[in-house]
Chain A
Amino acid sequence: MTVYFMCIVLLTMGLYCLVAKKNIVKKILGIVIMDYAVNLYLIIIGYKTGGVAPIIEPNMPAATLERFVDPLTQALVLTSIVIGLGVLSLMVAMCIRLYEKHGTFDMSVISKLRG
């Protein structure tokens, strides 16, 4: 149980960084931390005590199949990690463009400069 709560603590720290910081790069880092927390949470849900990685080896006893950890969450988290990379590159591209246009990363300055 405590593991789940520590994942939630990590998620909330990312949320705090996303909401409270005014620097755009810090906001992006908050999103990245939330991404990590969600991925770790999903993998932890699929963990089985004494589990082994879901890879079948030659001459493996059939009982080992019952000790595999959940392969479904792993497959979906694999998808999620790669999508996180794509979204991050898009965010950093927007961030670089904003810096070129306004010369600052400060969100409050940028919102004053609009027009």
Chain B
Amino acid sequence: MENITPQLYALLVFMIVGSIVAIETRNLLSAVISVAAVGFALSVAFLFLGAPDIAITQLVVEVLVLIILIRGTILLDNTAVESHRDTLAVVTSLIFFGLLLGFGAMIFGGRGFPEFGEPLMRVSRVYVHTGLPATYCANIVSSVILDFRAYDTMGEATVLFTSILGALALLRKDGKRKEEEVVAA
């Protein structure tokens, strides 16, 4: 396959510009839709990076995120936000930006961290070579999710179930009354 770096840079620049629009725009609905555009660009970037499973999942999840966020914002009378500029917060995030860039330079500049395009793959090599004979699954990602690391997937299902349960409990219109309250009423 050819060199994908230019396409990756173009997608990353698009994502950064979309995030700036999403952060700085006044209208909440256009902010939500800008974030969705960033997510779709992320899905295309996953396709370029050789991850079709992730790209499909990201696409589906992105549509759901868009629906959930629009449900969260559309019921309002006033979707415009006044501009808030908190000097302390801006300074804090700038400090974090500097710290992250500094640590990133320390990590990526030093030895031991793999360059872009040269992953370590110390564990994954075993999965790639024994995936088909051990699990009879042609897709190595599926064999890792559902067989080699099935406990991780079970934990993921637990987290997903718990969060959806929490959301349902929060959005329930009429709560359950206690016994004595019912008797008193």
Interface residues of A (CB under 8 A from B): 1-17, 19-23, 25-26, 28-30, 32-33, 36, 39-40, 43-57, 65, 68-79, 81-90, 92-97, 99, 105
Among B31, B45, B119, B128, which residue has its beta carbon within 8 angstroms of that of A45?
B119
Check if A93 sits within 8 Å of B65, measured CB to CB: no
Check if A54 sits within 8 Å of B163, measured CB to CB: no
- Point out the residues of chain B lying under 8 angstroms from A75, CB to CB: 141, 144-145, 149, 152
- Point out the residues of chain B lying under 8 angstroms from A73, CB to CB: 119
Among A44, A54, A57, which residue has its beta carbon within 8 angstroms of that of B128?
A54
CB-defined A-B contacts under 8 Å, sample of 27: A4-B108, A9-B16, A12-B93, A14-B19, A17-B22, A23-B84, A25-B32, A26-B31, A28-B72, A29-B22, A47-B116, A48-B121, A53-B51, A54-B50, A55-B138, A56-B132, A71-B127, A72-B124, A77-B54, A82-B156, A85-B160, A86-B164, A93-B167, A93-B168, A99-B75, A99-B76, A105-B28
Check if A44 sits within 8 Å of B51, measured CB to CB: no
CA distance A83 to B108 in the complex (A): 28
Check if B124 sits within 8 Å of A71, measured CB to CB: yes
Measured CB to CB, the nearest residue on chain B to A65 is B128
Contact with A along B91-132 (1 / 0, CB 8 A): 011001100110010001000001111110101100111011
Interface residues of B (CB under 8 A from A): 1, 3, 5, 8-9, 12-13, 15-16, 19-20, 22-23, 28, 31-32, 35, 38-39, 42, 45-46, 49-54, 57-58, 61, 64-65, 68-69, 71-73, 75-76, 81, 84-86, 89-90, 92-93, 96-97, 100-101, 104, 108, 114-119, 121, 123-124, 127-129, 131-132, 138-141, 144-145, 149, 152-153, 156, 159-160, 162-164, 166-168, 170-171
Check if A78 sits within 8 Å of B171, measured CB to CB: no
* Chain A interface, >50% SS class: helix
Check if A25 sits within 8 Å of B28, measured CB to CB: yes
- Point out the residues of chain A lying under 8 angstroms from B57, CB to CB: 78, 81-82
Q: A5-B101, A29-B31, A56-B132 are in contact. List 20 more A-B contacts (CB 8 A).
A: A1-B116, A6-B13, A7-B12, A8-B100, A19-B89, A20-B86, A23-B84, A25-B73, A40-B42, A43-B54, A48-B121, A69-B49, A71-B141, A78-B57, A81-B57, A85-B61, A90-B166, A92-B68, A92-B71, A93-B171
